[in-house]
């Protein structure tokens, strides 16, 4: 069965954005080690899932970035060309290339994707969508990129949990740019 991986940037206190959606605290001057880690993480991925709100910026951003010749073009092409599924209650059809719309029940849609033949699936956000995936126990690997910032308040991704979820730490890795990676999997009872 395919794995669903979460790759997300967090503040030390667990927020993915400031109270007004600010992301100016995120570290973007990634060192080569971090770029290689993310490249290896996404290599096995052949499907990206997104909430509608994030998709509206994510998909056009990577499509435009894939057209610019620079050192990040190969990664941008990977993001642009990888099949995407946008989870939405408001869109009937996708206007984006290489993107399908999922309108069914979240758990059913994710299980259907996981049962398909293919590579891994990765989710990047948004906040409410990721919270719902976590609440339902659908994430198979957590790749939490902790940035060296404390926000005090903001947008959490663990807001919808109704019960404790135990995790197993797979590894921790620090990067020269100041980001620390925490990789977890759900603890098997």
68-101: pLDDT as tens digits: 888 788 888 989 999 999 999 888 888 888 899 9
Residue 5's pLDDT is: 98
Percent of the chain with pLDDT over 70: 99
Name 122's bridge partners.
5, 48
Higher pLDDT, 113 or 78: 113
Residue 165's pLDDT is: 92
b/e 141-175 (16+ beta carbons within 10 angstroms → b): bbbbbbbebebeebbbbeeeeeeeeeeeeeeeeeb
Residue 75's pLDDT is: 87
Residue 134's pLDDT is: 95
Query: CB pairs under 8 A, 24+ apart, for 109-115?
Result: 109/85, 110/4, 110/49, 110/136, 110/138, 113/2, 113/4, 113/47, 113/49, 113/85, 114/1, 114/2, 114/3, 114/4, 115/1, 115/2
* Arithmetic mean of pLDDT over the chain: 93
Residue 84's pLDDT is: 95
Residue 96 DSSP class: S
Structurally, the chain folds into a number of domains equal to: 1
Structural domain boundaries, residue 87: 4-186
Q: Name the pLDDT band for 162 (thresholds 50, 70, 90).
A: confident
**Residue 45 reports pLDDT greater than 80:** yes
pTM above 0.85, yes or no: yes
Residue 99 DSSP class: E
Question: What are the structure tokens assigned to 113, written together?
Answer: 């994707």
Q: Torsions phi, psi of 92, nearest 5?
A: -90, -40
CATH label of the domain that carries residue 157: 3.40.430.10
Taking the CA atoms of residue 175, residue 178, residue 179 and residue 180 in that order, the dihedral angle to the nearest 10 degrees is 70
Higher pLDDT, 125 or 13: 13
**Residue 130 reports pLDDT greater than 90:** yes
By the 8 A CB rule, do 48 and 123 touch? yes
Please state the rounded mean pLDDT for residues 17-23. Answer: 93
Local structure of 65: helix, strand or coil: helix
């Amino acid at each position: 069965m395919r794995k669903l991986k979460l790759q997300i940037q967090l503040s030390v206190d667990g927020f993915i954005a400031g109270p007004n959606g600010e992301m100016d605290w995120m570290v973007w001057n990634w060192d080569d080690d971090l770029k290689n880690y993310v490249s290896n993480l996404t290599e096995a991925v052949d499907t990206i899932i997104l909430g509608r709100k994030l998709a509206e910026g994510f998909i056009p951003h990577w499509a435009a970035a894939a057209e610019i010749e620079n050192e990040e073009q190969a990664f941008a092409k990977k993001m642009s060309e990888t099949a995407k599924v946008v989870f939405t209650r408001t869109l009937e059809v996708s206007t984006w290339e290489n993107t399908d719309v999922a309108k069914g029940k979240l758990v059913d849609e994710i299980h259907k994707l996981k049962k398909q033949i293919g590579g891994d699936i990765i989710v990047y956000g948004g906040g409410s969508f990721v919270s719902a995936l976590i609440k339902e126990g659908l994430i198979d690997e957590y790749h939490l990129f902790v940035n060296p910032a404390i926000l005090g308040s903001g947008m959490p991704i663990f807001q919808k949990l109704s019960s404790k979820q135990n995790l197993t730490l797979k590894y921790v890795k620090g990067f020269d740019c100041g980001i620390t990676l925490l990789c977890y999997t759900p603890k098997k009872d």
